[in-house]
Amino acid sequence: MVFLGVDPGLQYSGFGVAKKEGPRILLLDFGYLYMPSTKSIPERIEIFYNHFVTLVQKHQVKTVILETPFLGKNAQNFLKLGYLRGILYLIANQRQLKIIEFTPRQVKLALTGHGGASKEQVARVVQKLFPKLTVPKKADVTDALAVTLCGVWKSNQL
């Protein structure tokens, strides 16, 4: 089964695509989508939609994994993040994909054994699990890979 984990953002959206083959997890693709702030919100949403539709088709994704959002200091950013999450729900619905969500605490706990782990600790675990992986320049990528791994590991329990 192929999983797509996404860390959506209006400028940078991290993603990871992994395939589960028995006990093995193969990392098929990862990176981030850059959407320039010079583009309007509708333009960025279209870029986001096109990118993730292409990834889903290319890798024959069956499950989309997201981290539940939390309301930080900026309610406008929270609202705009909802647009991108809605797009992922739309893509999942259009293609009959399963969509699962985990809280940030659940993701950190699954990867590090500690729900209050830092982003750096999570990134180190991702690096240890995939030693050939070049350290991503964006935390969005390691965040997305962490979400992906959490979904793959927990898929048997769902």
CB 35 within 8 A of CB 10: yes
Whether 67 is a known active-site residue: answer yes
- Exactly one of 21, 46, 67, 120 is catalytic; name it: 67
CB 6 within 8 A of CB 147: yes
- Exactly one of 7, 46, 101, 143 is catalytic; name it: 7
User: What's the pTM value of the predicted model, to 2 decimals?
Assistant: 0.91
CB 144 within 8 A of CB 151: no
Which domains can be identified in the chain, with CATH numbers?
A: 2-157 (3.30.420.10)
Model confidence pLDDT, tens digit, residues 14-71: 999 999 988 889 999 999 999 999 999 999 999 999 999 999 999 999 999 998 876 6
One DSSP character per residue, 98-120 reads EEEEE-HHHHHHHHHS-TT--HH
Model confidence pLDDT, tens digit, residues 61-116: 999 999 887 666 667 777 888 899 999 999 999 999 999 999 999 999 999 998 88
- Exactly one of 21, 43, 120, 140 is catalytic; name it: 140
